[in-house]
């Protein structure tokens, strides 16, 4: 762990950084390791089970997650395989206090680099599989709202706009 970890504000729906594809990490150095530490600290503070760099305003392909067995980092991750299906009430730190039943593959396997440049692979069903898919979506500029059925998505967007304008009082 590097010294002086920071907790960052989490960017929320409407922030343009959440809608664009994050850039590849060309070199893993102390700045990337510090970013990993900051992401872990911010995720824990939120609290959440996963966080992607764009969610703190940094457009780099870095995610962290902790589904109960300690924090892990994935840099430049690639989703290698998915299978099955699982509907789950999914939420997102960038769309706070909102949850929707979202169908995703039940299993996912992803490969990337850890904060030391070593190739790592994570695979799992249900929560781990969902977290891997959700965080990699963030790197592609996709929020979970984009995974909703059209009618539900339209209502969710309407609700979020009204909330942003203070019309939901």
Strand partners, 109: 81, 123
> How confident is the model over 146-155, as a mean pLDDT?
94
| Token pair in block for residue 10 | 């989490």
Of residues 2 and 4, more confidence is placed in 4
pLDDT of residue 26: 98
pLDDT in tens, 77-99: 999 999 999 999 999 999 999 99
Neighbouring CB atoms inside 10 A of 15's CB total: 13
Active centre residues (catalytic) = 135
């Amino acid at each position: 762990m590097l010294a002086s970890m920071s907790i960052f504000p989490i960017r929320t729906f409407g922030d343009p950084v959440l809608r664009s594809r994050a850039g590849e990490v060309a070199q893993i150095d102390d700045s990337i390791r510090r970013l990993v530490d900051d992401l872990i600290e911010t995720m824990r503070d939120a609290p959440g089970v996963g966080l992607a760099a764009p969610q703190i305003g940094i457009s780099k392909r870095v995610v962290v997650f902790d589904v109960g067995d300690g924090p892990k980092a994935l840099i430049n991750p690639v989703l290698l395989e998915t299978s099955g299906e699982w509907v789950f009430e999914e939420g997102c730190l960038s769309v706070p206090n909102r949850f929707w039943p979202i169908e995703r593959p039940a299993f996912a396997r992803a490969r990337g680099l850890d904060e030391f440049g070593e190739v790592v692979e994570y695979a799992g069903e249900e929560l781990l599989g969902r977290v891997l898919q959700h965080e990699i979506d963030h790197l592609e500029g996709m929020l979970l709202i984009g995974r909703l059925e059209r009618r539900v998505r339209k209502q969710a967007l309407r609700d979020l706009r009204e909330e942003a304008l203070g019309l939901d009082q």
